[in-house]
Amino acid sequence: MNPTKRKQSGAIGTVIIFCIAVVCAGALWIYFDEDVARKLKQEAEIQSMAVIGDVATKRLASASGEGTHGAAVDLIKRPIEVREVAENIHYATGVGNTIMITTSEGVVLFDTGLVIQSANQLQILKDTVSDADVRYIILSHSHADHIGGTRFWMDEGTDIIAHQNFEEEQRYLSELQPYQYDRNRTLFPWMPAWEDRPDIALMRYGGIVPTITVDDWETYAFTLGGIEFQVIGAPGAEGADNAVLWLPQQKVLISGDFFGPQFPQFPNIFTMRGEKVRKPVEYIKSLDRLIALNPDVILPSHLDPTIGAEKIRKGMQRIRDAVQYVHDETIAGMNAGKTVNQLMKEIKLPPNLELVQNHGRVDWAVKSIWEYYMGWFRFESTTELYPIPAQDVYADLAQIAGNENLIALANNYLIQGEPVKTLHITEIALAGDPQNSSALALRDQALVELLERAENGLRNDYEIYWLKSQLDTAL
């Protein structure tokens, strides 16, 4: 090659390199521009959500009244703070915790809290723990108190890991939202009415699409910055789409709602709030998987960690055996020809399996296991087959029986310590005469009696919420 040619090709090379550089800079600029725009929009959204969230949280907390341990009303009053579990594991408190695991290659999140609290949780975690890129967001299940901040945390290329059933659960919860909102508001009257709820696009439930999924009892494992992560599909507890995160090097189990807000406690196998069935045998199988991990720490998405391998192992084993016991006793009773109501009355946990029942209840579990296996027709009365409930004849019955007789009977039941029977009779009396003051007074007395028993007995939150809601409408 002569020098001129070399010079020429050198010049062409320079031009090509220059052109490539310009194209790259242009592309970089376009890319940069979009990224900046996305980030600015996201930051503006987070700022506005922090303000809206503060107002909404304060309003809910001030209207929430008395609670019991672990109840929703307690959770809304929790201040948003950062707590450390280990050097690389922190969580922001709230109704639902947002958990952050830091690594040298970015952060991993587990659950993103309730939408009205998520912006504040994000800000405090970014300010005090890490503002590195979010590489993975793991969602324990599709309930609104666990996924609210997902969109605010998303960086370019963030993967969302959830159970394979996550999208289906999110679909049905979205479709039934108005109906479920009403039910929840009956139990939690401090929630704003459906028409008064802050209906802002940013706060709407749903629309999250996982990029990585795990199936039942499957593990999705990855390593980031030298930390091993195992996401395990653990169905049964709060629904068909439960997933937990296991950190094998530190023996920490990040459990979402798998155990409920307290540990240990009898699980809410099938919540009375109303949801799709939860499968008891799946739950037992999931528990077997988790017991085998032998965790030193359980970090849940509500309230605080439980520490100590022995305590955790004993607690998990007791929950497992209690659910198995209630399941097996229900099956045995069904095969022995007992009715669901008989079994609800008879089946009790033996002393060695005793657990608190303020979240889930044994008798409601019996009913839900019965219905899980047998569906809606109990084979007890022909009338079950037709849409004409007993209540349809109450008004006529009341007229024949006469108010005085009904009131006397309702009162007798109350004196005999049978407030539920009192309610049956006052329902009949009130169907005939809705304003009857004696019947109304007896109904209230029966509700007060049941409330006192609940508060001095199992202290089940949902039973207490329900009875209070009925007293509120009664008064």
- Residue 274 CB, shortest distance to Zn ion, in Å, is 15
Q: Is 216 in the site for Zn ion (CB under 5 A)?
A: no
Q: How far apart are CA 256 and CA 439, in angstroms?
A: 46
> Which is closer to Zn ion, CB of 53 or CB of 261?
261
Q: CB of 75: closest distance to Zn ion in angstroms?
A: 9
Which position has the token pair 């207490």?
464
- Closest approach, Cβ 97 to Zn ion, in A, equals 10
Which residue's CB is nearer to Zn ion, number 145 or number 169? 145
Question: In angstroms, what is the minimal distance from the CB of 257 to Zn ion?
Answer: 4
- In angstroms, the CA 449 to CA 426 distance is 15
Residue 167 Cβ, how far from Zn ion at the closest point, in Å? 18
Torsion over CA: 335, 340, 345, 348 (sign): positive
Minimum distance from residue 260 beta carbon to Zn ion (Å): 8
- Please give the Cα distance from 210 to 381 (Å, whole number): 46
Task: Using DSSP, state whether 297 is helix, strand or coil.
Answer: strand
CB of 96 to Zn ion, least distance (A): 6
* CB-nearer residue toward Zn ion: 88 or 140: 140
Distance from C-alpha of 74 to C-alpha of 382, rounded to nearest angstrom: 45
DSSP state string for 168-210: HHHHHHHHTHHHHHHHHHHH-TTSPPGGGS---GGG-------
Query: Judged by CB under 5 A, which stretch of 200-208, 249-257, 305-313, 430-438 contacts Zn ion?
Result: 249-257
Nearer to Zn ion, 233 or 261 (CB): 261
Q: Which is nearer to Zn ion, 258 or 413 (CB)?
A: 258
Selected range binding Zn ion among 16-24, 255-263, 287-295, 317-325, rule: CB under 5 A: 255-263
Give whichever of 183 and 453 is closer to Zn ion, judged by the CB atom: 183
| Single-letter amino acid, residue 298 | I
Residue among 102 and 460 whose Cβ is closer to Zn ion: 460
Smallest separation, CB 191 to Zn ion (Å): 15
- The candidate with the shortest Cα–Cα distance to 429, out of 392, 462, 404, 461, is 404
* Helices 403-415/394-401 angle, 10° precision: 100
Counted residue by residue, the chain has a size of: 475
Tell me which of 145, 169, 363, 461 binds Zn ion, using CB under 5 A: 145
Determine contact, residues 173/142, Cβ cutoff 8 Å.
yes
* Closest CB to Zn ion among residues 263, 370: 263
Q: 246 to each of 20, 190, 289, 472, how far by Cα in Å?
A: 46, 36, 11, 44
Contact 74, 61 (CB under 8 A): no
Task: Tell whether residue 257 is a contact of Zn ion (CB under 5 A).
Answer: yes
Among the residue ranges 56-64, 100-108, 144-152, 221-229, the one whose residues contact Zn ion (CB under 5 A): 144-152
Is the CB of 145 or the CB of 363 nearer to Zn ion?
A: 145
Q: Are 118 and 148 in contact (CB under 8 A)?
A: yes
Strand order across the beta sheet in which 252-256 lies = 219-224, 227-233, 243-247, 252-256, 297-300, 306-307
CB of 71 to Zn ion, least distance (A): 12
Q: With contacts defined by CB under 5 A, name the span among 28-36, 161-169, 250-258, 278-286 that binds Zn ion.
A: 250-258
Nearer to Zn ion, 42 or 271 (CB): 271
- Smallest gap from residue 141 Cβ to Zn ion (A): 8
Interatomic CA distance for residues 340 and 294, integer angstroms: 37
Query: Distance from first CA to last CA of the chain, Å, rounded?
Result: 102
Rounded CA separation 148/190 (Å): 19
Number of chain positions touching Zn ion (CB under 5 A): 2
**Nearest distance in Å: CB 419, Zn ion:** 32
Residue range at the interface with Zn ion (CB under 5 A); choices 107-115, 145-153, 289-297, 356-364: 145-153
- Closest to Zn ion by CB, 135 vs 141, is 141
Enter the DSSP assignment of 227. E
Site string for Zn ion, 23-62 (x = CB under 5 A): ----------------------------------------
The region of 47-55, 116-124, 142-150, 289-297 touching Zn ion under the rule CB under 5 A is 142-150
By the criterion CB under 5 A, which residues form the site for Zn ion? 145, 257
